[in-house]
Amino acid sequence: MALTTLLHLVASIGVLGCICHYIIQKIHFRAKYKFPNPVPGLPIVGNMLQVPKEDSRMYFAKLAKQYGEMYTLKLGTNRWVFLNSSRVVNDIMEKRASIYVSRQNLPMAGDIVSGGNRLLFLPHNELWKRERKIMHETLGPASKDRFAPSQDIETRTLLHDYLTRPEQWHHSHSRYSSSVIMNVVFGRRTKLGDKTVNDVVDLQEHFLKLLEPGASFIDAFPILMKTPIPQSWQPWRWWGDTEYRRTKKVFEIEMDRLLQHEKNGTASDCWMSQLIRSGKDKEFTRDQLLFMAGTLIEAGTDTTRISLNQLAAGSALFPDWIERARKELDAVCGSNAERLPVPEDAPSLPLIRAAAKESLRWNPSLGEIAHSLTQDDSYEGYHFPAGTNVTWNHWAIAMDPNEYPEPERFYPDRFLNEDLDKPTKGHFGFGVGEFAPYQGGYTSGRRVCAGYVVANRNLFLSISRLVYCFDFLPVEGHPIPVGKPFSTRIMNAPFQIKIRVRSPAHEALIRRECTSAAFD
């Protein structure tokens, strides 16, 4: 009896000690760190139950109107600081990019669904640096000419698809964007209805949902990954492991096809072939190679196709800029459809270059991926601990009238300024975090999209040729649903528009210059 009482006393003292330790740590944490505008929430889960499963970006934008330039959400054990103006984004994530460079710990998105191999979720470590170097060599400014032939032939095919199958314009955007990057990475073109393209976009649709704050319970409480429960009993793995295997299989199909061509001596000169022939593939595991190639395809497909969707909607709703752009186009390509625009025409087509930026800014459909702070930092009286998740509130900034007058209007002229020739300036469509020189001749420590040069050229060439040759028209009785992000799904168009060739002369130009590309 006495022993039992003693054990109860010891246990009680232990529990009390743990509680006291937790309280002391909590007091110390609150005394040392200060977060901007914490949004009131519940014990333990914080704000998790307040974030809607659908249209969460609209909720985050609503909070920005309420709390101003910064606010903080607590999602489980993680704190997320939202930056709601270009001023604070520039101050924190651009000027201090070297310490806001890592990724948040998202076990579901990073470790389970990606197998710890997706570059997008790697922390700022040596593997990230090696993969980032490869990415930059593939996609950086010095390699832009590698993409030029593919971009030319694929935009010609895009025009032919618009002409012959105008009702499938949204599928044409997917085929175009994926075929450019697929040709460079794996040495093959894609057609409308290509299974890999459809699979990649479908995977991305599910995957992008995991990037939203609070999307997964295990991401909110990553400590649960360390519990001594067999993996087969962990409920969060039932879906996650299935998605990982599905993703890996899609990438393996393309890799195995290429390896067979390499064996037969019939492989095209592409990024993966060059990696294999140079022996650099030995620096990575097979899974790392698969996800490195897959990341290139995912990123190359999504940004361009969704930006073209936004351009199509904006042009149908606000066509006034089209007439001004065509004056520039007709001046260099002829008013009677004499030739297609080419990259060398860019200096003479400022409004087209501005339209590429506006297509990334207006009614943005892609979300953000938070950065993670690598060391303690202070800003304007606030103090953030290392590991804090920091993200820019893309929709809130892009659609803020204080940032962009008449933000709901598709108006490329707003970018006819000193930043016109800087693809990453004026919007956050390519992410944030400036590039910086690194010893060894490549870029380091920055999370801005490695392929922004290629993506920008994709947009310029496709937009210039589409605007030169086609009209984008609204469909009576089917208003375009602006005011919230468009659907990014591939099977159904996110809205209805009518595509019409500009004139018989432009139709003749397309048939003359683009038919062979479409059937090559």
**Packing angle, helices 235-264 and 271-278, rounded to 10:** 80
Band (355; pLDDT cuts 50, 70, 90): very high
pLDDT average, residue stretch 388-410: 93
Please write the tens of the pLDDT for every residue from 221-252: 888 888 887 777 888 888 888 989 999 999 99
Mean pLDDT for all residues in the chain? 85
> Going from the N-terminus, what domains does the chain have, and what CATH number goes with each?
62-518 (1.10.630.10)
Band (489; pLDDT cuts 50, 70, 90): confident
Least confident of 4-13, 14-23, 184-193, 439-448: 439-448
The residue behind tokens 């993703």 is 247
Grouping H, G, I as helix, E, B as strand and the rest as coil, residue 91 is helix
Q: Given this model, what pLDDT does residue 442 score? A: 30
Q: Given this model, what pLDDT does residue 411 score? A: 96
Long-range contacts of 117-126 (CB under 8 A, 24+ apart): 117/285, 117/287, 117/288, 117/290, 117/291, 117/292, 118/291, 118/294, 118/295, 119/291, 119/292, 119/295, 120/295, 120/369, 123/372, 124/374, 124/445
Q: State yes or no: pLDDT of 347 exceeds 60.
A: yes
Q: Given this model, what pLDDT does residue 367 score? A: 76
Q: Given this model, what pLDDT does residue 446 score? A: 55
Q: State yes or no: pLDDT of 324 exceeds 90.
A: yes
Segment holding 389, helix H or strand E: strand 389-392
Q: Rounded distance, CA 90 to CA 67, Å?
A: 19
Q: State yes or no: pLDDT of 184 exceeds 90.
A: no
In this structure, the strands spanning 371-372 and 70-75 are unpaired
Task: Answer yes or no: are the C-beta atoms of 71 and 82 closer than 8 Å.
Answer: yes
Band (255; pLDDT cuts 50, 70, 90): very high
Q: Rounded distance, CA 270 to CA 267, Å?
A: 8
Task: Answer yes or no: are the C-beta atoms of 481 and 391 closer than 8 Å.
Answer: no
Helix, strand, coil distribution of the chain in percent, nearest 5:
60, 10, 35
pLDDT average, residue stretch 193-199: 85
Q: Which two tokens stand for residue 444?
A: 């380091």
Q: State yes or no: pLDDT of 451 exceeds 70.
A: no
Band (422; pLDDT cuts 50, 70, 90): confident
Q: Given this model, what pLDDT does residue 461 score? A: 95
Please write the tens of the pLDDT for every residue from 261-316: 888 888 888 888 888 888 888 889 999 999 989 888 887 788 888 999 999 999 99
pLDDT average, residue stretch 200-219: 80
- The reply, when asked if residue 270 is annotated as ligand binding, is no
In this structure, the strands spanning 78-83 and 371-372 are unpaired
Band (169; pLDDT cuts 50, 70, 90): very high
Q: Rounded distance, CA 14 to CA 35, Å?
A: 32
Cα angle 215, 221, 225 (rounded to 5 degrees) comes to: 110
Q: State yes or no: pLDDT of 370 exceeds 70.
A: yes
Please write the tens of the pLDDT for every residue from 3-45: 556 544 544 564 455 455 445 555 656 667 899 999 999 999 9
Radius of gyration of the chain, Cα coordinates, nearest whole angstrom: 25
